[in-house]
Structure 1
Amino acid sequence: MNEQPTILVTGVNGQVGYELLRSLQGLGRVVGLDRAALDLADLDRVREVVREAKPAIIVNPAAYTAVDKAESDEAAARRLNAEAPGVLAEEAARCGAALIHYSTDYVFDGTKDAPYAEDDATNPQNVYGATKLEGEQAIAASGCAHLILRTSWVYGRRGKNFLLTMLKLGAERPELRVVADQFGAPTWSRTIAEATSHIVAQGVAADDAAWWAQRSGVYHFTASGATSWHGFAEAIFASALGERAPKTVPIPASDYPVPAKRPANSRLALDKLNETFGLSMPAWDDALRLCLGD
């Protein structure tokens, strides 16, 4: 890699891409692309853009993330979550770039009693999880140097996410019923971006393609700790609304039917991330307070 590597970032108007565009500044020549500049559904355009940019590092937060809609829109979800990452990976292998790609806790079925490790068996229960797993497999098959970062319950101050939904509903209603039997780590989009930038900084400092190749693989990449959706909602209201907070009633997922089945256990073990990159991810509730105070 040269002294000023080109870092290509997709989906920069999304909640993670927006933060990445800022966190990666200073580590190279950051080329940020929104959907108008690069529609990942256009696979020929994906190839063309990568070949023009000649990046040393590709960071791909763009994805089809409408989990319930994906159940009836499988082709579009597969194009963005599986086929496009596969093409990015092929082009990364072709030009010697490293690919950083984000995946999901939804590749697991949620039946394990403990946090999932990276090598636990996958068994997605919905189309979104299945297409994200296909993306992981396509990247691994390409032979490019890659980091697949599985995250969970992503939220931020932009886009569509649980935090913004709760803030809106909490200001409108005296009582909310929230699922209390699904557990995971709410992860702030800025946490994802800043932790990614720490990894990129290590790779840029190493200035060696072998550094990326030696660390290629899947990593779990969430905030630390865990809660339920109900616990997440209560923490949001405690920080943001205080005495004006609505009453939150815990309910089982069976009382809130949605098209896509969610895993009951989305907790991911972070040991490999810490051992490989020396990263200690912040507690989910600490990050939430920072986000709400931002």
Structure 2
Amino acid sequence: MDQDRLSMVRLSIDRSVNIAVCGPLTGPRSAYGDMLKAECEHLRQANVHLQHFDDMANPEQAIAVAKTVIAEQFDVVIGHFNSYCSLAVKNLYREAKIGFISPLSTNPELTLEQGGALFCPSDDDQLQALVSEAEKAGKRIYVFHDGSPYSKNLISQLGQRFPEERILNAFEQFPTEAAGDSMVFLAGAHCNLVQPHIALRKAYPTLKIVGCDDCYIDEYFDDLAHVANQHDFVMGQAKGHEGNLRNAVQYLNDVIHSIPKDTPFFNVIGQNTANYQFNANGRVASAVWQLLPLQSLVKP
């Protein structure tokens, strides 16, 4: 679905729809919240009402947000980008029978049944793409992590594939002699990975460096633009996180204009449509990870 279609669908509806837009609207991950708010504005129309809630990318705050959303009887939630926020609130929304659409949560333990839909492939798929690329290139994988729960989850899965000494919590730990036959995967929050990425690039001009999916955002591209070369990559998808978010918004827009008047949104969110097919775990079937050249993502 492209941006033009979102702007074209403005059919009248005969019910009032209240949508809670939940995400990191403040703090170091607010760039994702800004993206969420901007894209969800395409849903705003007659009888469709949006209200923004800041979960600060913090699970405890996400629970507080969810309790407010439930108390105020919203029809559907879109957001909670951070996987740990989504994991913290999914059962609350399910028990309250509020539809839940999470555009970017990647934790493989997050599954949504009736009433939920996930629009991003999982970390399992991300790591498989990374390992496949390393095997194809004949390179060993080293991992630099920022100590966050997200990075630790990635490490716990990757750690089954190679020795612990290839897991680094400081970029200075990377062995110089490994630069020629290795690649470094940066795991964690994009705001914590910029400086390690820059330092590694300056120290090793030909080292292949791959930022995790959280690095697929303009802030990261802009910060790396002055040092990036053909050996810098980020884990992403052809249309990026904005593409996933756009699909999630388009899907909700389609549901809004097709749901029978007296049917709760919880009853239909996550059902297959002509344009969107979901796996048994609630994830959209068409999304896949790719290693994308960072230089191609920097805006001129």
Taking structure 1 as the reference length, the TM-score comes to 0.48
Between structure 1 and structure 2, the one with the greater Rg is 2
Taking structure 2 as the reference length, the TM-score comes to 0.47
